[in-house]
């Protein structure tokens, strides 16, 4: 993964060490954790030993950064786990779990096994999602809370309860049998989508965490291979591919956020788009689940000749269908935003829809609600109210590029130069 990095004095540059450990955490956390879970069948122990391996890396790598950080971390974490088990008085009880099934070797589906373990039907779905985001991505509890639009203590409680339930129920670490897959599929799809979302607009200075978006695409591909006759895994993969294909165009040359309306479409990944559109079409021919409908919306965006020529009425119809099968506040918000862009739309009516959504608990800390209100208010000529809405949105996003964008929009209002809103 990396070449060894050494200074002439024999020690690696501390900055190179910190960067290598950070990169290894992003790229290898789930693989290392999955390998230790395979060995111990104990989530708490596996997580502790994986974290300790990264601590050891910070102490050891100054001597020399290994050529294969992920392999080094896996070896250290597994050794730590075995040492812990040997020291425990429960070794005799644990010993049978250390014996892997005959012929079983580590394989690329290990992270997917971990997802399915966390998405066992014995767990409440909200706990399934929170636990998987914590384990499969190594997200902090704060990041999990932000992704689920819940408080940090609530997220922590869900994760703790889920771990205890897995231990108490003896839930196995494996991909379920074919007849068990459908009961877990919806939660697994939700988790993979949230993994992508956490990377698409990341907390912190970077707009995107490509390790998370890439991991989500990889997991979606594994799901499609595992369940080739199911519609929704292919629809989710289509959605992620069409979104990922626009990635390079989301930032300007000076690192500022560029919304869909203003993106240079020549910078989109044509090959990735073509696969996404093809898979979305295939999924829609076989079903109209929530991810198939979301993929249809994404397809309408990427196949339109331009932002102005997007078929907004058809986009609204897709959201109307979603509201029947998946009536969430975020879907309602997206529908209202699309409705505002339909030619001749009554913006007062749209504003009333948005104001009604402000009473939804799930949206009270969601930056896109006041940002959308600000766009509509600005188009209505209510600049002071729009500026206040942008001001409200700014502290609700954890992404610095988004915050700067919102601040620019607010300043543009003061100069009287705000244009029509664009898409995310």
Of 294, 299, 293, 291, the closest CA to residue 275 belongs to: 299
For residue 6, name the pLDDT band (cuts at 50, 70, 90): very low
pLDDT of residue 54: 94
pLDDT of residue 419: 53
pLDDT of residue 236: 98
Query: What's the fold here for domain 14-96?
Result: Rna Polymerase Sigma Factor; Chain: A (1.10.1740)
Range 296-309 burial, b when 16+ CB lie within 10 A, else e: bbbbbbbebeebee
Provide the β-strand partners of residue 204: 399
Mean pLDDT of 124-136: 83
Tally of residues, the chain: 424
Q: Please name the CATH architecture into which domain 357-424 falls.
A: Up-down Bundle (1.20)
What residue segments make up the domains of the chain, in order of their start? 14-96, 235-327, 357-424
CB neighbours (10 Å) of residue 15? 8
Of 147, 116, 113, 121, the closest CA to residue 133 belongs to: 147
pLDDT of residue 182: 82
List, in order, residues 6 or more apart from 86 with CB less than 8 Å away.
none
Rounded Cα distance, 320 and 335, in Å: 7
pLDDT in tens, 304-326: 999 999 999 999 999 999 999 89
For residue 90, name the pLDDT band (cuts at 50, 70, 90): low
Q: Do domains 14-96 and 357-424 have the same CATH topology?
A: no
pLDDT in tens, 359-417: 999 899 999 999 999 999 999 999 999 999 999 999 999 899 999 999 999 999 987 75
State pTM to two decimals: 0.81
CA angle 97, 98, 103 (to 5 degrees): 100
For residue 418, name the pLDDT band (cuts at 50, 70, 90): low
Provide the β-strand partners of residue 399: 204
In the block, tokens 């039907």 appear at 121
């Amino acid at each position: 993964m990396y070449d060894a990095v050494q200074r002439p004095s024999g020690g690696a540059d501390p900055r190179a060490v910190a960067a290598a450990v950070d990169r290894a955490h992003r790229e290898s956390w789930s693989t290392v954790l999955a390998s230790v879970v395979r060995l111990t069948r104990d989530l708490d122990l596996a997580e502790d030993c994986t974290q300790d391996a990264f601590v050891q890396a910070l102490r050891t790598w100054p001597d020399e950064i290994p050529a294969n950080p992920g392999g080094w971390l896996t070896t250290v974490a597994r050794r730590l786990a075995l040492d812990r088990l040997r020291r425990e008085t429960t070794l005799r009880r644990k010993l049978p779990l250390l014996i892997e099934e005959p012929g079983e070797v580590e394989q690329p589906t290990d992270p997917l096994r971990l997802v399915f373990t966390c998405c066992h039907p014995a767990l409440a779905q909200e706990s399934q999602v929170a636990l998987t985001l914590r384990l499969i991505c190594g997200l902090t509890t704060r990041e999990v809370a932000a992704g689920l639009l819940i408080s940090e203590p609530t997220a922590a409680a869900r994760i703790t309860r889920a771990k205890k339930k897995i231990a108490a129920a003896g839930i196995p670490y494996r991909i379920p049998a074919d007849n068990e897959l459908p009961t877990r599929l919806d939660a697994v799809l939700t988790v993979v989508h949230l993994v992508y979302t956490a990377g698409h607009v990341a907390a912190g200075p970077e707009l995107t965490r490509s390790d998370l978006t890439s991991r989500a695409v990889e997991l979606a591909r594994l799901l499609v291979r595992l369940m080739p006759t199911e519609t929704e895994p292919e629809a989710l993969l289509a959605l992620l591919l069409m979104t990922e294909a626009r990635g390079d165009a989301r930032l300007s040359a000076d690192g500022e956020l560029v919304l869909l309306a203003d993106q240079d479409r020549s910078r989109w990944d044509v090959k990735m788009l073509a696969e996404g559109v093809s898979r979305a079409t295939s999924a829609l021919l076989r079903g109209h689940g929530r991810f198939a409908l979301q993929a249809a919306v994404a397809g309408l965006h990427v196949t339109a000749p331009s932002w102005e020529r997007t078929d907004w009425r058809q986009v609204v119809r897709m959201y109307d269908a979603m509201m029947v099968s998946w009536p969430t506040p975020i879907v309602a918000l997206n529908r209202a935003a699309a409705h505002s862009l339909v030619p001749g739309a009554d913006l007062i009516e749209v504003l009333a829809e948005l104001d009604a959504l402000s009473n939804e608990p799930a949206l009270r800390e969601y930056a896109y609600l006041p940002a959308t209100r600000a766009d509509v208010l600005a188009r209505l000529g209510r600049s002071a109210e729009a500026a206040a809405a942008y001001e409200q949105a700014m502290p609700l996003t954890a992404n610095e590029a988004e915050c700067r964008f919102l601040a620019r929009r607010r300043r543009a209002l003061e100069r009287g130069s705000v244009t029509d809103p664009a898409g995310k």
